[in-house]
């Protein structure tokens, strides 16, 4: 396996597809988001086998001050995303290889440690990989989120911010999202159209900075469906799932 460090000069050659075609609008939206983040210290590393036709692994991380999750992780390196694909490449140590790349970068930059939010739900890495690499759970949030940390120095630990207190700000039906995940970005217009056909007034609010994302109304921060102060969904949903939620929750 070869690891490629992606930057603004080679990103068109080594595209982090996130399983999307580069011609897809969601991918293009993510690409624009990435280009703005490089100046904040965003790092992307891709794992390739053979001829580099398609990447088989991906990790994205950033200094904790610029984390797009509902955390206070100043002084740490923070991992946004990590995946290995297809399944034949899983459980072969490649995920650990990418985690160690992040750990080494964090040490070189004098960080306190590395942090990540895990979940046993969809669209996020589970905690097992990080436990294998010396991380410990320091905080939990419903339904299955854990803030995992590997420390190099004895300093204050990162923590979840009080995302629950943000919910009361949102009256009516709201989607609060960021373009950190291209799957979210590609679905926003579809969800808007569904709500409009139902005669529902849907407010769509984009989180445009890391500070805004850190004050989102859910631990994941990337996608939030909130109705009258209630968090209905805290991760990307399909069109079908969105319709089902509206049928159940919006009378």
Instruction: Give residue-wise pLDDT tens across range 176-214.
Output: 999 998 888 778 889 999 999 999 999 999 999 999 999
Residue 20 lies in a domain: no
Res. 24: pLDDT tops 80 = no
Check residue 101 and give its pLDDT: 97
E strands present in the chain: 2-6, 43-48, 57-63, 71-72, 77-84, 113-119, 136-141, 145-151, 159-160, 173-177, 202-206, 223-227, 230-233
Q: What is the mean pLDDT of residues 158-179?
A: 96
Residue 78 lies in a domain: no
Residue 2 lies in a domain: no
- Preceding peptide of 143 cis, ω within 30°: yes
- Which band of pLDDT confidence, cut at 50, 70 and 90, is reported for residue 12? confident
Question: Which CATH number is 170's domain given?
Answer: 3.40.30.10
Residue 21 lies in a domain: no
| Boundaries of domain holding 194 | 163-249
Number of separate domains in the chain: 1
């Amino acid at each position: 396996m070869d690891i490629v460090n992606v930057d603004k000069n080679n990103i068109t050659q080594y595209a982090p597809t996130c399983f999307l075609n580069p011609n897809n609008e969601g991918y293009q939206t993510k690409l624009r988001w990435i280009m703005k983040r490089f100046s904040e210290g965003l790092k992307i590393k891709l794992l390739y086998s053979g001829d580099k036709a398609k990447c088989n692994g991906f990790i994205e991380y950033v200094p904790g001050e610029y984390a797009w999750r509902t955390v206070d992780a100043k002084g740490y390196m923070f991992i946004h995303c990590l995946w290995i694909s297809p399944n034949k490449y899983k459980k072969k140590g490649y995920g650990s290889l990418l985690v160690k790349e992040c750990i080494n970068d964090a040490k070189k930059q004098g960080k306190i440690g590395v942090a990540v939010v895990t979940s046993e739900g969809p669209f996020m890495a589970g905690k097992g990989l990080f436990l294998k690499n010396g991380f410990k759970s320091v905080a939990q949030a419903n339904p299955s989120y854990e803030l995992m940390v590997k420390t190099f120095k004895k300093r204050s630990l990162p923590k979840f911010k009080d995302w629950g207190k943000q919910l009361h700000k949102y009256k009516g039906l709201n989607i609060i999202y960021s373009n950190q995940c291209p799957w979210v970005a590609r679905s926003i217009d579809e969800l808007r159209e569904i709500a409009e056909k139902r005669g529902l007034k849907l407010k769509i609010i984009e989180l445009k900075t890391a500070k805004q994302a850190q004050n989102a109304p859910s631990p994941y921060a990337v996608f939030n469906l909130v109705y009258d102060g209630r968090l209905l969904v805290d991760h990307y949903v399909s069109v079908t799932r969105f319709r089902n939620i509206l049928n159940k929750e919006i009378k």
